[in-house]
Amino acid sequence: MADSNRLHSINTSRIIRAIWLNPGISRIKVAEILDLDRSTVTKIMQGILDRGIVVTAGKNRQQSGVGRRQINLEINPDLGVVLGLEIQDARFTAVIATVSGEVLHTFDGIGKVSREGLVSHAVSLIERAREFVAGTGKILLGVGIGLPGIVDPYAGLLIRSNSLGVREPYAVRDEVSKRSGEYVFIENDANCCCWAELAFRKSARARNFIAVLGEFRDLVSGSTAPHGIAVGLGLTVRERVLHGDHFTAGEFRAVGATPESGQFSVPCSRFRELPDNRALLREVYAELCDNLALLMNTVDFTKIVFTGDLPANRENLEEAMRRSIAGNWVYDLEREIEIEFSEYGNRSVSMGAAGLFVEKLFSVPDIADRFQELVGFDLYERIIAAKGR
């Protein structure tokens, strides 16, 4: 059984999360949806109002009946900012955003990085971000990092990354956190694209969806990765990103691919022509969509979001996706399938890495399972204490 301090932390996190997901909600409504006594909510609310986590946002003008108007609540827009990083072997992108997803600053660049210099590289990017944040007078709450390869986000391990030269588990999160002094979460780059949708586009939480990260590696000078398009998937079921038992969920390889051809049946030697060769691009998209349609229909995903370089190189992608889904479907039942192109484009991963940190900040600690993971109100309290606030 959870002790009283643990229970208080859990309930505090539940209340904060309810307000984050439902901006403008009242105390009474919070108590109703969480099935908590109003007195419990009132007591906890006073504490998080005093700490500046939540602020009042006027009175409810839509309230019916008589009596005192209920006070609307929302997360403090000036709570702090988060840094989202995407680090590849030859380039990086960075986003500094508020907890509501407003982008305040971005920067990017190229430069070779491998396992040996990965942590130093990440720390240098954090230092660069700190310089900007210092000028805003805001607090840098923490950092999310999207990385290519197999990632255990709970233990903070980069298990394997071919492009970064990682062949055995590497404690990236702990090393970056220790050297930077910041709280850090890491995640697979394609999975980050799911977190961007979940954290900053609340309507996405209503659907099970696939995020398709497509990046044209031949657009990046100095990369040792194969030329052409690299594809990874992020899978979201019931508002949770699916990692799989070996943290390899979302690794993509077309059914017709061979060891010589890479991820698709198209020979690697032709990938140098992408994305400029539009006929070849349509061919690759057709194969991509046929493989995605099988997954969409089998698992009953009802939304797919194309991210990375794909929004800027759409060609016939939406048409091909709808055609493949219809061709793979066996029933005469109507289904509403949403096909979207991420507004974040080639910053989808870094934006999602920021979203990952925001999601952890507004999560609820588990009583069991990943009991040791620091999230929610406990995470915020540790951050504030470390910042001397």
Amino acid at 39: S
Cα–Cα distance measured from residue 355 to residue 292, given in angstroms and rounded to the nearest whole number:
25
245 with 323, same domain?
yes
What is each CA distance from 311 to 191, 198, 261, 307, 347, in whole angstroms? 17, 19, 24, 6, 11
- Same domain as 359, residue 327: no
How much is the pLDDT for 269? Answer: 80
Indicate whether 215 and 143 sit together in one domain. Answer: no
Q: What is the pLDDT of residue 69?
A: 52
Q: Of 32, 57, 75, which marks where a domain is finished?
A: 75
Q: Which two tokens stand for residue 22?
A: 């439902």
Whether residue 211 is found in the same domain as residue 337: yes
Check: CB of residue 111 under 8 Å from CB of residue 87.
no
**Which pLDDT value is given to residue 66?**
42
- Give the pLDDT confidence score for residue 93 in this predicted structure: 97
Q: How confident is the model at residue 46, as a pLDDT? A: 93
Residues in the chain: 389
pLDDT tens string 88-111: 999 999 999 999 999 999 999 998
Instruction: Calculate ∠ Cα 103-105-106, nearest 5°.
Output: 100
The answer to whether residue 251 is domain-embedded is yes
197 occurs within a structural domain: no
**Domain end position, chosen among 57, 75, 93:** 75
Does residue 54 lie in a domain region?
yes
Same domain flag for 215 and 296? yes
Same structural domain, 353 and 342:
no
Do 96 and 184 belong to one domain?
A: yes
Q: What is the pLDDT of residue 260?
A: 80
Residue at 231 is within a domain = yes
Judge if 146 and 182 occupy the same domain. yes
Q: Which of 30, 60, 75 is the last residue of a domain?
A: 75
> Which domain covers residue 263, as residue numbers?
202-346
CATH number, residue 264:
3.30.420.40
Radius of gyration of the chain (CA): 22
Tokens of 52: 């500046």
Kindly state whether residue 305 falls inside one of the protein's structural domains.
Answer: yes
Q: What are the helix (H) ranges across the chain? A: 4-21, 27-34, 38-50, 115-136, 172-180, 189-200, 278-299, 317-328, 348-361, 376-387
Give me the residues of the chain with pLDDT under 70, please.
1-3, 58-69, 218-227, 367-372
Neighbouring C-beta atoms of residue 86, cutoff 10 Å:
28
Do residues 257 and 311 both lie within one domain? Answer: yes
For the stretch 258-302, pLDDT in tens is: 888 889 998 878 888 888 899 999 999 999 999 999 999 999 999
On whether both 378 and 254 belong to a single domain, the answer is no
Q: Looking at the structure, tell me whether residues 227 and 337 fall in a common domain.
A: yes
Total domains in the fold of the chain: 3
CATH of the domain at 62: 1.10.10.10
Task: Provide the pairing of β-strand 140-147 with 184-188.
Answer: parallel
* Residue 97 in domain: yes
Q: Count CA atoms within 13 Å of residue 58 on its CB side.
A: 6
In a domain, 359, yes or no: yes
- Is position 166 within any domain? yes
Same domain, 70 and 86: no
For the chain, report the end-to-end CA distance as a whole number of angstroms: 32
